[in-house]
Structure 1
């Protein structure tokens, strides 16, 4: 068995004295692990860091085997991403989210989004927006997507400012005002393009929204809590902005 693909390194761990098991998010083969021979060596380990983009060839005798990776680093981002606390924590958080996906389950749209995210994680003004959008996409990829296109009460598509915590549907300003204290804020950048990076308040509201549904629909049913790296990332962003 053999295939080639594009991937982004999510993590690695030593395997034996000299080898490493590398975890990738690939374009066509989903989240995939493979053995890199000599991957624990100083020469190779420098390139096998989270955030780096790679060209990968996977080989195995049978499809269900772990198999071996041959990797070529095509986008060496890790060094600059690790220079900043917010981007280092963001990478860790993203890895935790992606590990919720079944291994080897293709998610090409998610891979494309991840490419755009990791390319700009060292830019503190963009990181909050990028991660919140990715969290929203992860909810959808995991089967818990929110309906943010029309008002749950009226069916209208304008002035959508809130989200119902019960249904995960958007609510317009007029329909939601009587229930304002019971609804979650919906920052515009989660549903439309913006010319400038969102404000700190909008990023906070977005993380409150995505965090609520990630906790209730994804992590808590698995007996888990939101990753510690998420809170650390948010704190680091506050210091960096």
Structure 2
């Protein structure tokens, strides 16, 4: 068995004295593990850092074997990411989120979204919104996606302000007013067609976005016995909050 393709390093763990087991998110084969011979060498270690993109060749005698990776560097972004508080926290959180996905199942849209996030995660004006949308994409691929197209109660597409925790569908401001305390706030930047930059978002928007995605990820986690990323999300939000306060004090409340 053999395949070649691109992949982003998620984690590594020691295997014996010289080798590592590499976990990647690949473009065509999803989350995949394999052995890298000599992965703990001085030459290989800088390449096998989380966030780096590699050209991969995976080989195994049988399809259900761990197999071995041969690697070539493609985009070595890890150094820049690890110098940033958001970058470091974001790498850890993204790895946990992707570990919710079944192994060896292709998620091409999610791989594309991962690349976009990693390319912009250190930019305060884009990182928060991209990370929240990435969580929404994870939920979609898990079969637990949210629906912001129209109000669950009335069918209107106007003034959507809440999300029902039961149906995961949007609710308009008027229809949701009597149940305000039981619904989740829907920040407007997540609505279809909305693409505000981070500099235009208040911290309340960001906080509500993460609380929304976190609620449904935590519920999926409890129902399926998967890690939800609650701890790494908390660390990421703390890093984002600090960066956001420094970059956009006028929008911080």
Distance 1:134 1:117 in 2: 8
Cα distance per residue 1:185-231 (max 9 Å; x no partner): 11122233324212211110101101111112224641756442210
Match of 1:44, SS state, is: coil
Give the 3 Å change call, closer, same or farther, for CA 112–225 of structure 1 in structure 2: closer
- Is contact 2:150–2:171 with CA below 8 Å preserved after alignment? yes
Deviation at 1:148, TM superposition (A): 1.4
Distance 1:232 1:173 in 2: 32
Alignment size in residue pairs: 241
Gaps of 5+ in 1: none
Residue 250 of structure 2 corresponds to which residue in structure 1? none
Give the 3 Å change call, closer, same or farther, for CA 225–95 of structure 1 in structure 2: closer
- Is contact 1:96–1:227 with CA below 8 Å preserved after alignment? no
Distance 1:34 1:225 in 2: 24
Gaps of 5+ in 2: 245-253
TM-score when normalising by structure 2: 0.91
Residue 167 of structure 2 corresponds to which residue in structure 1? 167
Distance 2:61 2:215 in 1: 43
Show the 5 A alignment for 1:28-177: 28-177=28-177
TM-score when normalising by structure 1: 0.95
Residue 233 of structure 1 corresponds to which residue in structure 2? 236
Match of 2:206, SS state, is: helix
Distance 2:100 2:15 in 1: 23
Deviation at 1:156, TM superposition (A): 1.4
Match of 2:101, SS state, is: coil
- Is contact 2:97–2:228 with CA below 8 Å preserved after alignment? no
2:200 aligned with 1:209, yes or no? no
